[in-house]
Amino acid sequence: MSLSRVGGYGIPQLARRITYKDAGVDIDAADEMVDQIGPLLRRTWGPRVVTEHGGFAGAFRLDYGERLFARAYRDPVLVACTDGVGSKLLVAIQAKRYDTVGVDCVAMNVNDMITLGAEPLLFLDYIAVNKLAPNVATEIVRGVVTGCEEAGCALLGGETAELPDLYRRGHFDLAGFAVGVAERGRLLRPRDNVKPGDDIIGLTSSGLHSNGYALARKALLTEAGMDLHQKPRPLNEPLVDVLLRPTRIYVRAIRETLRRYKQRNPIVGMAHITGGGLPGNVPRILPDDCDAVIRRGAWTPPPIFGLLERSGVAEEELFNVFNMGIGYTLITRPRSTAAVIKSLEKAGETAIVIGTIRRGAGKLELR
């Protein structure tokens, strides 16, 4: 290949020009992906979305004062959060199954958001890849769309970055950002309102959700040497199906229950049980003079947790890392607990009284 000199810089110049594709970034693949996901995004759009797909930003109307819309806020407060899927993605990559992790991405955000009593409005995703495969990216976004439909929010847009120098071949990362709204006077303030004698209601999880996968993969796949497609006896289904089961989205059940109480809200606090399990998340909403007492025998954890224990993970570590079958908790006044449970069950959740609040020092005790 012939070389020439560039101006007075003395830099050798290749006769063939270098393209962006030579550097590992395929603009044509990105355009193909944008075309594929457009119809998917629009499935989540309602009349409050006022932009078109493919622009530089998205726009969303707050609906106060508009008779056309069903919901209106007199003193709206915006609520925002961001989160990712974590190393659960490595299981999806190994199994080459990409249709559920998008649900996880939405769930990790909106389940956090509703702990304040907020209504999710819109969602944005961020996908970073080694090399963009439009069909794989579309499957990921399809899962995000499913999650947004379950949560009742609009997938307003997102970003896909092709970063061959940062990610290994076949690998990707997935994160999201959610915005919601709440009536200022109805924002939950658990540290001001939780009292001794209150009940703790647990909503069952669908399994591991999206936390603790570094430990789960090490215990099951590395130390125990299990194959993703085998059916360990306690599970009676392929391990990959259990590990990739998407995080449960609790938005509709929580929102429907909150709407039943127009004046006085019997729910005084809520916690999304993510990394750190019950001991790491319930104390985040406790006053300094209250403890939460959780009864371990109040529910039966799904079999995956027993499999993890048999694979070498101690019970204390299980509770400190995983949700152990309880994905979300609500703290309620005792006189209203039965009615709240009935409402949650009517919305499709399994709700169980798992503990109580007593005087203490802001800690959680497992009994």
- The domain locations on the chain are 27-186, 190-366
107 and 176 Cβ atoms separated by less than 8 Å: no
Strands in 119-129's sheet, in edge-to-edge order, are: 76-84, 172-183, 119-129, 154-162
Residue 203 φ/ψ, nearest 5 degrees: -105, 130
> What are the residues whose beta carbons fall under 8 Å from the beta carbon of 314, sequence distance 6 or more?
none
The model carries a pTM of 0.89
Count CB neighbours of 211 within 10 A: 24
For residue range 153-210, list pLDDT tens digits in order: 999 989 999 999 999 999 999 999 999 999 999 999 999 999 999 999 999 999 999 9
Interatomic CA distance for residues 248 and 351, integer angstroms: 13
Out of 3.90.650.10, 3.40.50.300, 3.90.79.10, 3.40.50.720, the CATH code matching 190-366 is 3.90.650.10
Q: Collect the ranges in the chain with pLDDT lower than 70.
A: 1-16, 18-35, 37, 41, 53-55, 63-72
What CATH fold (topology level) applies to the domain 27-186? 60s Ribosomal Protein L30; Chain: A; (3.30.1330)
Task: Select from 339, 335, 336, 331 the least CA-distant residue to 356.
Answer: 331
Strands in 326-332's sheet, in edge-to-edge order, are: 267-272, 326-332, 199-204, 351-359, 290-294, 364-366
For residue range 100-138, list pLDDT tens digits in order: 999 999 999 999 999 999 999 999 999 999 998 989 999
pLDDT at 50: 72
